[in-house]
Chain A
């Protein structure tokens, strides 16, 4: 992300005016987390007007527009973020020339023209998101192919999301003593070919650092051999030059869960980069370990976590991006204060992206959880408030 300018609003305390140029899908997700309903956007957009009655002659102009956000449409997989809004008056007069106030318009983000966000509420968390987005270190992607007999998932694992690029499913013939083994092998070959094609289509090898092939049994190993064989056959330099990127790991299933299994396996930790996500997986696993031991050092639920924070006892606070992007501004402020208080007491706050399965898990678990420095029993007891 390029942050072109960031000015704290002089009229509105807490507000800010930010001009940005997003550069990849991670940046789209950052923008998505920052922009709220009722924020204003200034952007450039192409318009086509039909000049003559026949509609034959067209002219395309780049128009500067300003809208107030009504709704959004975001899809990480398709790299797609679109805002809908209604035109508002621009005091500076620079935008919305020739366009009346109150028109409905949409704005789809691209990586070409910078745009400006006028935020009512700009907070520390959003500032942190922006800082992270500008840090190239965070930006290398990992691809993962997780497979078992007849099922494969080709995925991209970025710092903020696991994106399923393609699922490949072949129903393999049931083995009977009479099954034509040739037919079985033929189908297996087709299956690996399909994975190979999917990888070529959906992965950008220039942008990847690691490609994890993982499976139960020997499927991942066979896949790697096949990939190199196919690449050899068609002289695919992109793959042949990057053989070192491929990495075989073991997991128990060919479904998406297999990927997390690999990422949390200490065996592979040294070989995989220490990504933000792998760190989150470790912390979440520690949370589960404490719960399993019933040692009163792990809690979930808003009430319990808030109580623990009051004691200053939290060593890790876990939140989802969803609760921080919720429509309930008051509650959101509560959570931000909570993060502050945890950090000022020497704890750490982690915001898990719900575009990863881990964040989705936490989201199901009320969206908020914590690990304590020392045991605090009975945080879930009601203290007679009702």
Chain B
């Protein structure tokens, strides 16, 4: 990398962290010289990638501020910028058609016209009124290292895992109005995270809008849009603890229009609660072809969720009828098994989110106890937390650290190189003092502090921790970071982890669901990958997949419903490269879902990253 090259070659110079530090290091004459040549050099290197201001300045310094020799040296080491392959207008074949390439604004490009002998023309360069840089793709390079750093206070991971309370994140899914938000509001109320007076306030507010039955739901549904319309739109996460486990809950919207948000919720969760409205006819209407009960379950299965709790909700509406409970179970179970869940991993719990019976604090009545003697919802969750943390106990120091970025927390201090980044550990562990690299910007940072969120009344408390492990939701305080080039959905990994590639084409092992139009080369759709959503299209149909999981020889001209195939995908309308991992590297992160015209049409695993 450019930066390390230069700093290596200049042993007697201190190690500069940023441009500002280096500027300070220069004496006044040098500083002036620098400012004379630097802009020209920078302009000359617009077509190249792999540099930042600091590396250019260091190179100039090395070359005694001589523009020509610096330029010659840099051009040897730097790569030409990758440009999107899609020219805007079809070229008519001749060599000198001005392709509208990203990064190269028109005014910079014109003087490079190779044709000799242009007359002195009246047309000014500004005549073209468009803003040529609109589809700019930034390829800024940062300091990147592959040498790990040691934790400040090293902890033994396996001992830590044994001693800590298990942590579980779960998403609440189900058809619209099944009672998801109400159930979560109820949980938080029973946990004393929301207190009586806050609930009374919500009760008043919801009554004035004529929606008093939504008082619990409003604990989760906070925006005006959501409250006026009585539907959840965006996902909402909360943290809570019982004396047996720590939890992160994600409330997902049930409405079909907000399935993209539900997908984001699913990709953050270790397991799912499916909320089912057991009222007469209600289950049936949510379970038909276009209902979201089925779609949510299909998504959960496709995105690698194995454990389910079925919250059989609104049992108060059917007098806690065992018959109704069994009827719904007998309809739902075959479907769940069909889409890939194992019966052993599904728990069925009768509840009423609104009255609270069977949720946490409010006991089942004796009548219910006569036919249901299983644990209530909270105990079921705690059991699941134990089970999943048992599975994770295998974590050892060798598992690679992988972290998906969910949010960049704006910090008040703007000038320095600190970043606050919250997200989920997808694999391995991390401790303060260790380093990580964030993709696609490929910036290596040092973890300064790790904070875990915990709910305290209406505010989140941030407590520091010495270790975070797979499954934890944490906020990392990073040094040497450039927060302006970190985005939701970016991936971070230990600095010596080699397998994350930023790309826009890759091969999927694809399984199609019910589709009413086939997939063809060129077919556009929306691709969901982790918490990212991205327009994409089929680049190439490679081959069908045989029963024996191998590529079939049969000719593939189009891909219909319920088929399996290897397919190459190309992202479109991309501004920024997207970090990718194969499903082989990480089962959860390597999975994707395809939607088109508002339907989930296929799911896939990334098998190869092409470019």
| Nearest CB of chain B from residue A68's CB, rounded to whole Å | 12
A252 touches B89 (CB 8 A): no
Q: Which of B92, B122, B538, B560 contacts A292 (CB 8 A)?
A: B560
Stretch at the interface among A112-120, A129-137, A170-178, A272-280: A170-178
A45 touches B117 (CB 8 A): no
- Cα A327 to Cα B92 in complex, Å, equals 7
Interface residues of B in 249-267 (CB under 8 A from A): 255, 257-258, 260
Contact with A along B90-126 (1 / 0, CB 8 A): 1111111110100000000000000111111111000
User: B223 an interface residue at 8 Å Cβ cutoff?
Assistant: yes
- Cα A7 to Cα B223 in complex, Å, equals 67
User: A40 an interface residue at 8 Å Cβ cutoff?
Assistant: no
Interface residues of A in 115-153 (CB under 8 A from B): 148-149
- Cα A173 to Cα B422 in complex, Å, equals 12
A380 touches B557 (CB 8 A): yes
User: A73-B89, A218-B225, A255-B535 given as contacts; is B458 within 8 A of A79 (CB)?
Assistant: no
A288 touches B597 (CB 8 A): no
User: A149-B234, A176-B236 given as contacts; is B97 within 8 A of A217 (CB)?
Assistant: no
Q: Which of B238, B517, B557 contacts A176 (CB 8 A)?
A: B238
Q: Which of B120, B258, B523, B538 contacts A49 (CB 8 A)?
A: B120
B130 touches A75 (CB 8 A): yes
- Cα A149 to Cα B234 in complex, Å, equals 9
Contact with B along A61-90 (1 / 0, CB 8 A): 000000000111111111110101000000
- Cα A170 to Cα B156 in complex, Å, equals 42
User: A171-B487, A288-B518 given as contacts; is B120 within 8 A of A108 (CB)?
Assistant: no
User: A179 an interface residue at 8 Å Cβ cutoff?
Assistant: yes
List of B residues within 8 angstroms of A185 by Cβ: 223-224
Max count, chain B CB within 10 A of own CB: residue among A99, A106, A185, A251: A106
Q: Which of A253, A261, A294 contacts B560 (CB 8 A)?
A: A294
B406 touches A217 (CB 8 A): no
User: A291 an interface residue at 8 Å Cβ cutoff?
Assistant: yes
User: B340 an interface residue at 8 Å Cβ cutoff?
Assistant: no
List of A residues within 8 angstroms of B395 by Cβ: none
| Nearest CB of chain B from residue A301's CB, rounded to whole Å | 8
- Cα A297 to Cα B224 in complex, Å, equals 51
- Cα A71 to Cα B95 in complex, Å, equals 8
Q: Which of B90, B122, B407, B560 contacts A325 (CB 8 A)?
A: B90
Which chain B residue shows the least CB distance to A29?
B89
List of B residues within 8 angstroms of A357 by Cβ: 524
A291 touches B122 (CB 8 A): no
Interface residues of B in 231-253 (CB under 8 A from A): 233-238
List of B residues within 8 angstroms of A76 by Cβ: 88-89
B229 touches A46 (CB 8 A): no
User: A175-B223, A288-B517 given as contacts; is B535 within 8 A of A257 (CB)?
Assistant: yes
Q: Which of A36, A84, A252 contacts B115 (CB 8 A)?
A: A84
| Nearest CB of chain A from residue B456's CB, rounded to whole Å | 10
Q: Which of B88, B257, B523 contacts A217 (CB 8 A)?
A: B257
Contact with A along B119-138 (1 / 0, CB 8 A): 11111000111101000000
User: B141 an interface residue at 8 Å Cβ cutoff?
Assistant: no
User: A60-B122, A104-B115, A104-B117 given as contacts; is B219 within 8 A of A177 (CB)?
Assistant: yes
Contact with B along A34-48 (1 / 0, CB 8 A): 001100000001111
- Cα A93 to Cα B117 in complex, Å, equals 23
User: A178-B458, A257-B535 given as contacts; is B598 within 8 A of A71 (CB)?
Assistant: no
User: A354 an interface residue at 8 Å Cβ cutoff?
Assistant: yes
List of A residues within 8 angstroms of B599 by Cβ: 252
Q: Which of A49, A70, A72, A217 contacts B255 (CB 8 A)?
A: A217
Interface residues of A in 292-314 (CB under 8 A from B): 292, 294, 300
Which chain A residue shows the least CB distance to B118?
A104
Contact with B along A158-178 (1 / 0, CB 8 A): 000000000000011111111
A–B Cβ pairs within 8 angstroms, 9 of them? A71-B96, A75-B88, A76-B88, A177-B460, A288-B520, A292-B518, A361-B523, A361-B537, A380-B557
- Shortest 10 CB-CB contacts between residues of A and residues of B: A364-B522, A252-B598, A78-B130, A216-B257, A327-B93, A74-B89, A71-B94, A46-B122, A361-B522, A73-B98
Q: A171-B487, A217-B233 given. 16 additional CB < 8 A pairs?
A: A70-B115, A75-B130, A77-B88, A79-B129, A104-B117, A104-B119, A174-B234, A174-B488, A175-B222, A177-B236, A252-B599, A291-B517, A292-B515, A361-B537, A364-B537, A380-B555
Interface, chain A (partner B; CB < 8 A): 32, 36-37, 45-50, 60, 70-80, 82, 84, 99, 103-106, 108, 148-149, 171-179, 181, 184-185, 188, 216-218, 222, 251-253, 255-257, 261, 285, 288-289, 291-292, 294, 300, 322, 325, 327, 354, 357, 360-365, 380
Interface, chain B (partner A; CB < 8 A): 88-98, 100, 115-123, 127-130, 132, 188, 219-220, 222-225, 229, 233-238, 255, 257-258, 260, 406-407, 455, 458-460, 487-488, 515-518, 520-526, 535, 537-539, 555, 557-558, 560, 573, 595-599
